[in-house]
Amino acid sequence: MTSRVDLARAVADRLPGLRVSERSVDRAAASRDAWPRHLVAEASAPQSRTEPALVAWPERPEQVQALLSFAREHGVSLVPYGAGSGVCGAIKPRSASIVVDTKRLTRLTIEPDAGVVDVQAGVLGVDLEAELARRGFTVGHFPSSILCSTVGGWLAARGAGQCSSRYGKIEDMVVSADCVLGTADAVRLRRRVGGPNPLGLMIGSEGTLGLITSARLRLHAAPAARAFAAYRLPSFELGAEAMRAIMQAGLRPAVMRLYDPIDSYLLSRGKVADDEGSERRGSGMPSGFWLRAALGSPRALNGAIECFERYLSASATLIVIFEGAADEAHVDLEQAERLLRELGGSSLGEAPARAWLAHRYAVSYRQSKVFQQGAFNDTLEIAAPWARLSAVYQAVRDAAGRHALVLAHLSHAYPDGCSIYFTLVATRRGAALDRYDALLDAVLGAALAEGASLSHHHGVGTSKAHWLDAELGGGLDTLRRVRRAWDPELLLNPDTFEPLRATPRVSLREPVPGIDARSGIATFRGETPLSEIEASARAHGLSLGLIGAVPRLSLAAFVEAGLPGIADPFADPVRGAVCGLEARGPLASFRLLPAPRRAVGPDLSALCVGAAGSIARVESASLALVRRAARSLGATATPALLSADEASAWQRIVTALTLTPAQS
Amino acid sequence: MTRWVTLGLFVLLLPRCGGAAAGAEPKTAADDAAEAADAAGSGAPSEGDEADEPSAAPEKPRGPNCDDGTCSVCGSGICPAGWYCDESAPGGAACAWLTECAEKVSCGCVAKVLGSACKCRDESGIKVSCN
């Protein structure tokens, strides 16, 4: 296609009903997401952005499918676009690309009897929950970006909401997803246990494997009551211990957030700071003067903060909110408060937790203030098992502290680990772009080296792509083969996941084989009998939590058989099952270090779990355990067969990862 | 040198410990950093915040109060400050941003970049409508 005009004409001829725009205003708006590096780059060295050739707004899934067919015929790349609030540079169209804006895919059907909602990809989160609230339901997904993110974006990025410790992440909520693969085949991928689960590959694929047109999400009854508490803990470490104890006791708070000492202190002053703002603007003091001055010497600033923590206040603040039936919320809170008091917590009353809830979405709307004050900020949300959390926290603080002010809180807790949410603020003075890149690499390198996963819920995009091969244990090649299986011409979001820079070298911390009793994780070689693992777990007061007798299988066979006897994941969405995996096959090779949840592209463990060894053999695996005293996990799910369209899609994956081109 | 800077910053933070009201004090790094932390998703409330949340749902997710200039309403969603609302977007009102105008978004800047086909008004946020 020689020009934009030609492309527009060809699209109009082929898809007469499709709404398309060549307007500069539309192409500019769809040219990128909210990755902070875009801002830093433009401020450092103004350059023209790359705008796509066209923006299209399909209104029906058939139009998406037709667009894919068109793209294949003409070799045009397609970049899906929701509300543009992603922060990892996953929206990176080329000048000849068509951006597929999903915002006119807005159908929403609630099926109360089935306990599900069918919602098209372009529905804004706030509209979905508003509609559900009117009917007395919730999906339970409340990202702070809920006012500027779409359902399709949630699935594509493998996102998490503020209530993930009760309802799980988005991947724990999906019953099925309707997609159009890069082959232009429409397929409904259903959640499945006991067999291949290609849905796990689509969620988190960031627009690279297919375009998600709609999803069927599980419904919960809207909570009848909430119970609130806030506690001061003697240290950040003890706060983390409290979160671990609460989750491992089987309690599932809707919200549980721990602020480190300086974050607790600074943020406890948030209201005062806001109140002062208007007066100060008239005082003649340049806004952000102190920020700019302090950020000029980040080592010193972080040193001062460490002094503050060491000598004045090491206490951390934990807020916790339970919700559900009236009795349930208050009984659970009482139990959590008992654990908090045992760990030296002192109550701050309900008010901080109530106030947090009242302002829960306000936090995402202040970034431009920082930018206007001559600084930039970014956030990185890494995930690690409980046993590694403290080391990861300290290593990242040390590494990032050379470049930026570092703040942190814990906000997505699971029985086996937690996400640490780092807020990084640095000056834009001087070589800001170099500083940004050095900061990002310092954080990600330190996190990986200490045994964390790069991302819990923001995703990879282009921002972390050069670290992806390290995260996947050399699995980038496997990921590329998966892409080619469903998108042979690599037309879908082609630059996402592809490193823009050389992959830095980093020595990953090897997980210690055996039982990590602190995290409740069993890591064993694939040939280890499951009964042996269960016995080892029981020696620590833990269990695999299987329903019925432990199968006479090796760990590898258990994983490849689809975890027979495991409770239905919907019974406890936050538990997780396989949290780490190493696999080798003819053309597939990857290793995922144990982490509670990750958002680092398609879930490669789906190539093994329930796949009967057809793609790769499990060399080792990490399973999340349950406390033997914890609550019952319910029943197993009924295994479901692949439908014809799913089987066809799955076979493409198997072929791509087992047969060389000559063989196939 | 670094030790002195550290000491200075330590002293800077010291009197602020305990959360005493400081209405006339100049804004500090701590305050700005708090905003930065807020901006990126921390947002712990002050202990003195009034409880104004009913104890039960259902309820429509309530957005932030944009009176403080941190955001603006756009369709059924909300745009962060620094973004503009394209009310004429073919997909429906949508937030967008221009790096050229990120430092200080204004109708002057947005109109200059988007051209004369777009009309801009500053009405509780920058609103754009294009032909």
pLDDT at residue A444 greater than cutoff 90: yes
pLDDT at residue A367 greater than cutoff 70: no
- Specify the higher pLDDT residue, B35 or B81: B81
| Rounded mean pLDDT, A21-50 | 84
**What's the pLDDT score for residue A261?**
79
CA distances from A179 to A19, A30, B73, B130 (A): 20, 21, 31, 32
pLDDT at residue A306 greater than cutoff 80: no
**What's the pLDDT score for residue A286?**
38
Query: What does the mean pLDDT of chain B come to?
Result: 66
- Measured between beta carbons, the chain B residues lying within 8 angstroms of A289 are 26-27
Distance CA A450, CA A624 (A): 19
**What's the pLDDT score for residue A305?**
78
Which parts of B19-125 are beta strand (E)? 71-74, 77-80, 84-86, 94-96, 118-122
Comparing CB atoms, the residue among A34, A365, A409 nearest residue B70 is A365
CA A447 to chain centre: 16
pLDDT at residue A44 greater than cutoff 80: no
Segment among A90-94, A265-269, B84-88 with least mean pLDDT: A265-269
- Measured between beta carbons, the chain A residues lying within 8 angstroms of B53 are 226, 354, 357-358
CA distances from B71 to A363, A368, A381, B32 (A): 11, 10, 24, 18
pLDDT at residue A43 greater than cutoff 50: yes
Segment among A260-269, A356-365, B21-30 with least mean pLDDT: B21-30
**Residue of chain A nearest B65, judged by CA positions:** A362
A6: how many CB neighbours lie within 10 A of its CB? 12
User: Helices A261-268 and A270-281, interaxial angle, to 10°?
Assistant: 50
Q: Does residue B102 contact residue A368 with C-beta atoms inside 8 Å?
A: yes
**What's the pLDDT score for residue A80?**
98
**What's the pLDDT score for residue B97?**
87
**What's the pLDDT score for residue B21?**
28
Segment among A299-313, A481-495, A642-656, B96-110 with least mean pLDDT: A299-313
At B104, list the tokens.
Answer: 């200080």
Per-residue pLDDT tens for A509-556?
Answer: 888 899 999 999 999 999 999 999 999 999 999 999 998 899 999 999
pLDDT band at A630 (very low <50, low <70, confident <90, very high): low
pLDDT band at A288 (very low <50, low <70, confident <90, very high): low
Contact check, Cβ <8 Å, A230/B43? no
Query: What does the mean pLDDT of chain A come to?
Result: 91
Cβ of residue A145 closer than 8 Å to a chain B Cβ: no
Per-residue pLDDT tens for A205-245?
Answer: 999 999 999 999 999 999 999 999 999 999 999 999 999 99
pLDDT at residue B125 greater than cutoff 70: yes
pLDDT band at B82 (very low <50, low <70, confident <90, very high): confident
Comparing CB atoms, the residue among B37, B80, B90 nearest residue A19 is B90
Interface of A with B in 522-581 (CB under 8 A): none
**What's the pLDDT score for residue A149?**
94
ipTM exceeds 0.90, yes or no = no
Comparing CB atoms, the residue among A19, A25, A148 nearest residue B95 is A148
**Residue of chain B nearest A405, judged by CA positions:** B33
Q: Does residue A555 contact residue A585 with C-beta atoms inside 8 Å?
A: no
Comparing CB atoms, the residue among A283, A375, A411 nearest residue B26 is A283
Contact check, Cβ <8 Å, A125/B79? no
Please choose, from the candidates A509, A268, A123, A379, the residue with its C-alpha nearest in 3D space to the C-alpha of residue B31: A268
Sign of the four-CA dihedral A189, A193, A198, A201: positive
Distance CA A145, CA A167 (A): 17
| Rounded mean pLDDT, A52-77 | 97
Q: What percent of chain A has pLDDT over 90?
A: 75
Q: Tokens 């398309």 label which residue?
A: A20
Contact check, Cβ <8 Å, B52/A358? yes
**What's the pLDDT score for residue A48?**
65
**What's the pLDDT score for residue A632?**
58
Please choose, from the candidates A465, A396, A448, the residue with its C-alpha nearest in 3D space to the C-alpha of residue A424: A396
At A76, list the tokens.
Answer: 């045009």
Distance CA A156, CA A459 (A): 9
pLDDT at residue A484 greater than cutoff 50: yes
Contact check, Cβ <8 Å, B95/A38? no
Which among A19, A20, A23, A25 is the top mutation candidate for probing chain B, defined by the most B β-carbons within 10 Å of its own β-carbon? Answer: A25
Comparing CB atoms, the residue among B32, B86, B118 nearest residue A373 is B32
- Specify the higher pLDDT residue, A506 or A179: A179
pLDDT band at A360 (very low <50, low <70, confident <90, very high): confident
Distance CA A227, CA A324 (A): 9
Q: What percent of chain B has pLDDT over 70?
A: 52
- Measured between beta carbons, the chain B residues lying within 8 angstroms of A379 are 40-41
pLDDT at residue A118 greater than cutoff 70: yes
| Rounded mean pLDDT, A187-195 | 92
Cβ of residue A310 closer than 8 Å to a chain B Cβ: no
Quote the pTM value. 0.90
pLDDT band at B9 (very low <50, low <70, confident <90, very high): very low
**What's the pLDDT score for residue B3?**
46
| Rounded mean pLDDT, A272-285 | 32
- Measured between beta carbons, the chain B residues lying within 8 angstroms of A52 are none
| Rounded mean pLDDT, A403-432 | 93
Cβ of residue A296 closer than 8 Å to a chain B Cβ: no
Q: What percent of chain A has pLDDT over 70?
A: 92
Contact check, Cβ <8 Å, A222/B65? no
**What's the pLDDT score for residue A450?**
96
**What's the pLDDT score for residue B77?**
85
pLDDT band at A120 (very low <50, low <70, confident <90, very high): very high
Contact check, Cβ <8 Å, B13/A103? no
Q: Tokens 């495991």 label which residue?
A: A566
| Rounded mean pLDDT, A340-345 | 96
CB-based contacts of B10: which residues, under 8 Å, 6+ apart?
A: A304, A307, A308
- Closest Cα of chain A to B94: distance in Å? 7
**What's the pLDDT score for residue A366?**
63
- Closest Cα of chain A to B12: distance in Å? 9
- Measured between beta carbons, the chain A residues lying within 8 angstroms of B46 are 267-272, 352, 355
In chain A, the largest separation of any two C-alpha atoms, in whole Å, equals: 75
Q: What percent of chain B has pLDDT over 90?
A: 21
pLDDT band at B131 (very low <50, low <70, confident <90, very high): confident
Comparing CB atoms, the residue among A142, A280, A363 nearest residue B26 is A280
CB-based contacts of A211: which residues, under 8 Å, 6+ apart?
A: A64, A68, A78, A80, A100, A102, A121, A179, A180, A492
pLDDT at residue A137 greater than cutoff 60: yes
- Measured between beta carbons, the chain A residues lying within 8 angstroms of B87 are none
CA distances from A446 to A307, A405, A576, A582 (A): 22, 16, 25, 22
- Specify the higher pLDDT residue, A407 or A213: A213
pLDDT band at B34 (very low <50, low <70, confident <90, very high): very low
| Rounded mean pLDDT, A383-394 | 96
Distance CA B44, CA B39 (A): 11
| Rounded mean pLDDT, A120-127 | 95
pLDDT band at B56 (very low <50, low <70, confident <90, very high): low
pLDDT band at A508 (very low <50, low <70, confident <90, very high): confident
* Bond before B58 cis per omega within 30 degrees: yes
Distance CA A468, CA A89 (A): 14
Interface of A with B in 217-246 (CB under 8 A): 222-228, 230
Segment among A133-142, A275-284, A416-425, B74-83 with least mean pLDDT: A275-284
- Specify the higher pLDDT residue, A213 or A41: A213
Size of interface A-B (CB pairs under 8 A): 368
pLDDT at residue A448 greater than cutoff 60: yes
Report the 3 state secondary structure along A463-502.
CCHHHHHHHCCCCHHHHHHHHHHHCCCCCECCCCCCCCCC
Contact check, Cβ <8 Å, A271/B12? no
pLDDT at residue A134 greater than cutoff 70: yes
